[in-house]
Amino acid sequence: MDAPTIVPVGSPIVELFLEQVASAEQAGRVTPAMAVTARGRLYDLQAKTRQGGLLPHEAARRAAQVVSMAERGVLDVE
């Protein structure tokens, strides 16, 4: 019998921040370039959380920082 698959909690938390970026972009609080960069960083956090390399509370903290920096316009656009 196979062992049950454990899905790390935390990915849904990052999903909330992805929605927040989309909302901020629609409201004009975030430029399109800044939104793309923020989404990329959030997807990276989500992947790390799903792989077990990042604890959910740490992913949430970092995601909040990404969104905050994007809204302030200080996120490095690559």
Per-residue pLDDT tens digits for 12-27: 888 899 999 999 999 9
The residue extents of the domains of the chain are 11-72
User: What Cα–Cα distance (Å) separates residue 38 from each residue in 1, 6, 50?
Assistant: 41, 28, 18
For residue 2, pLDDT beyond 60: no
Residues near 78 by Cβ (< 8 Å), separated by ≥ 6? Answer: 37, 40
pLDDT band at 78 (very low <50, low <70, confident <90, very high): low
Per-residue pLDDT tens digits for 22-68: 999 999 999 999 999 999 999 999 999 888 898 888 999 999 999 99
